[in-house]
Amino acid sequence: MRSDLMKKGLERAPHRSLFKAMGYTDEELSRPVIGVVNSANEIIPGHVHLNTIAEDVKAGIRMKGGTPVAFPAIGVCDGIAMGHAGMKYSLASRELIADSIEIMATAHPFDGLVLVTNCDKIVPGMLMAALRLNIPAVVISGGPMMAGINDGAPVDLIHVFEGVGKVKAGTLNQKQLKQLENCACPGCGSCSGMFTANSMNCVTEALGLGLPGNGTIPAVNAARRRLAKEAGMAVMNLVNKDIKPRDIATLEAFKNAIAVDMALGCSTNTVLHIPAIAHEAGIDLDLDIFNDISRKTPNICYLSPAGPHHVEDLDEAGGIQAVMKEISARGVIDLEALTVTGKKVKENLKKAAIKNRTVIRPVDEPYSKEGGIAILRGNLAPDGAVVKQSAVAPDMMKNEGRARVFDSEDDAIEAILGGLIKGGDVVVIRYEGPKGGPGMREMLAPTSAIVGMGLDKSVALLTDGRFSGGTRGAAIGHISPEAAECGPIGLIEEGDIIEIDIPGKKIELKVDAMELDRRKKAFTPKEPLIKTGYLGRYAKMVTSASTGAVFKDPE
């Protein structure tokens, strides 16, 4: 056993003595030692209940003859960090999470890991660590939040964000907003739509590193606790069979995950995280793979923010396994891929069934023939940009408008809420990329303000930053190279014409090449506003959004 390095033999008597100081017995030390990474805290609704999930995991480990050892991981709540400087630290926390787990599981050589997680950057950070360490591992999420009910209709966090814009537009009063605020998030769990947290939990299941049900069983259901116990038991099976994360997360498995991403209409943040996770497995995923798979994978689910359904509805309809079974008819699922059940995908899918054809449509009657995400390229984004095309109004799929340029999210929000943005404008927010932000802020506030003020069918938003999974409308992010790296987005001037063609996968700045060359020669990018501390180091180490915003490899 790997853990023998710290517990077996004459020379390890001092080590055993330290274990015994914590109450461990010789019997416990004779068993496989399983690290339980617990990201519970009291700042994220999706994590506030994770101590219970972790205890259930530990019970499952003990049932199968292992010894669980828990340690913590940090987590940022994107919703609470949104709209201020705190959001600069969210994406950056992903690397810290991966690094800290690497440190803990190498300093203390566990035989396996169960990673207890739930929300936006914590899930990919833990997946990155699992693939980097490559010891038997299972990921278990805390599950999605239930949708709230307001005046008899389902609501979620995004309705509150959009409510701010509605108050500014005069279509909602502050009393109504308060009522919405009080009921939109009814309890623990990751926010109830197909936002980033739930997108990544569903992707984890499709990738094979989470058990069936990981992505959709609600946080408040007893089935979630049972699944946690099963995760504890599953890791022991993986340890006994020596099945490691890289045996599961192959190129074929990543393609499965992207296909499910497209079928569900997941968050654009998956385009950052999936390549970053693959990078840890030694697999390079070019952005074009998303378009390639999207062309073959219909969008068969219509969950918030794109549509009326929530993750609890998807769970009742059959969950991720039912989605995988349905799209496998298009040949986009590798049925031979291995999973943490110890079985192949085809074996897991035998029990899968669709129970609601409104929530999970047949592949021949999809919401759209292509997947939920599109990668755009052009002279404005030579290295690519991303849009959640399933959440774009039909009128905005092809669009041309005049640029309204802002060098920060804060300035853009002030202009939007101040009524300075009009139909036909293309809001450009730059210097919010991984390096320029630094930290690549998620911008739910400006996109929600645009929707709330009734401009989502006439105003587009472009940025080298990124968006929440809750964003809807013609919001195009991850424009690469970013302004801080001398990307063309830094050359846009107020009033320039920008052409957006989502079906054609193009985004163009309608300025002739000679003028762009003149601007480029005169251009000096702005320095990042934060140059000290972790973000100062992050800005020097981070790569482009087009490569998943991972750190540069050591030279």
- Residues assigned a catalytic role: 468
Of the CA atoms within 13 Å of residue 82, those in its CB half-sphere come to 24
Contact 313, 276 (CB under 8 A): no
* 282: number of Cβ within 10 Å: 10
* Phi/psi of residue 176, nearest 5 degrees: -65, -35
Q: Who's near 61: CB < 8 A, 6+ residues apart? A: 34, 36, 67, 68, 114, 232, 233, 235, 236
- Residue of 468, 418, 401, 420 lying closest to 440 (CA atoms): 468
DSSP β-bridge partners for residue 368: 299
- Residue of 163, 170, 79 lying closest to 119 (CA atoms): 79
* Strand, coil or helix: 479: strand
Angle at CA of residue 297, ends 293 and 303, nearest 5°: 115
Judged on CB neighbours under 10 Å (0-12, 13-18, 19+), 336 is exposed
DSSP β-bridge partners for residue 72: 38
* Strand, coil or helix: 354: coil
Q: Who's near 342: CB < 8 A, 6+ residues apart? A: 234, 237, 238, 241, 243
* Strand, coil or helix: 460: strand
DSSP 359: T
Contact 174, 167 (CB under 8 A): yes
Which tokens go with 146?
């239930």
**Amino acid identity of 42?**
E
Angle at CA of residue 317, ends 315 and 319, nearest 5°: 45
Contact 150, 159 (CB under 8 A): yes
* Strand, coil or helix: 401: strand
Contact 90, 121 (CB under 8 A): yes
- Residue of 321, 332, 322 lying closest to 298 (CA atoms): 332
- Residue of 219, 153, 212 lying closest to 192 (CA atoms): 219
- Residue of 276, 285, 271, 278 lying closest to 246 (CA atoms): 278
* Strand, coil or helix: 398: strand
